[in-house]
Amino acid sequence: MRAAPSRSAPADSADDFDTDGRPSKSALKRQMHELQALGLALAELPVSRSSKLDLPEQLRDALKEYHRTRSHEGRRRQLQFIGKLMRQIDPEPVREAVAAFKLGSAAETLALHEVERWREELMASDDAVTRWMADHPETDAQQLRNLLRSARKDAGKAAPTDGQGQRHGRAYRDLFQLIKSALTAPGTAPAADEDADDEADDE
């Protein structure tokens, strides 16, 4: 009985096989490109994620070499080698790890945008403060108002420098942390990356 086709790939077509039943050259080439793309996604995973995967030592070494390589051509060749090594493993756990990481990154990005949206609204209007306190009564109202007062004062003094946009003071970043803590408390959305705000301010 023929096995069902993989969820991640369409059913085999007649063009994928030679007359003797072996995969055609075009099918092998397509598979190689797919595995190279998956290998690149694997290489871009944080070590904390990729280290949990059951990968052959040779593949782990190839991934480390890819990160050490700086030239474009060298990386291209190393990626081809990684693609060949990927043919020796079950790619499904790697696909799942990559998908889970992308999903988590998307959730963190949405959470970060929500924090930033609230910060801009609070900076712009006292009406937003009233709405915030209604939604998050556990917030220290005095701390929030003090941070807003300082952040608004800093914003009034600051000016764009060297075409890099307006730079903000400590109160602006502390306001981000206060909002993030409230929005990511137990039972709310996943936490956004704390460092992402500092990076955004430095741009």
Sorted by where each begins, the domain ranges of the chain are 23-89, 108-202
| Residue whose tokens read 């077509």 | 13
> How many CB atoms are located within 10 Å of the residue 58 CB?
11
Lowest mean per-residue pLDDT among 89-103, 142-156, 159-173: 159-173
Residues 189, 181: Cα–Cα separation, whole Å:
10
CATH of region 108-202, choose from 3.40.50.300, 1.25.40.10, 1.10.60.30, 1.10.150.120: 1.10.60.30
The DSSP symbol for 23 reads B
Please determine whether the domains at 23-89 and 108-202 fall in the same fold group of CATH: yes
* pLDDT number for residue 16: 54
- The 10 Å CB-count burial string (b at 16+, else e) for 91-122 is beebbebbeebeeeeeebeebbebbbebbeeb
Give the class (CATH, top level) of 23-89: mainly alpha
First to last CA, the chain: 59
pTM score: 0.50
Q: Residue 188 — φ and ψ, nearest 5°?
A: -115, -165
Lowest mean per-residue pLDDT among 11-15, 30-34, 111-115, 188-192: 188-192
Per-residue confidence at 4, pLDDT binned at 50, 70, 90?
very low
Q: How far is CA 185 from each of CA 60, 178, 180, rounded to the nearest angstrom?
A: 37, 11, 8
Per-residue confidence at 8, pLDDT binned at 50, 70, 90?
very low
Residues 144, 59: Cα–Cα separation, whole Å:
51
Span 38-96, pLDDT tens digits: 999 999 988 888 888 999 999 999 999 999 999 999 999 999 999 999 999 999 999 99
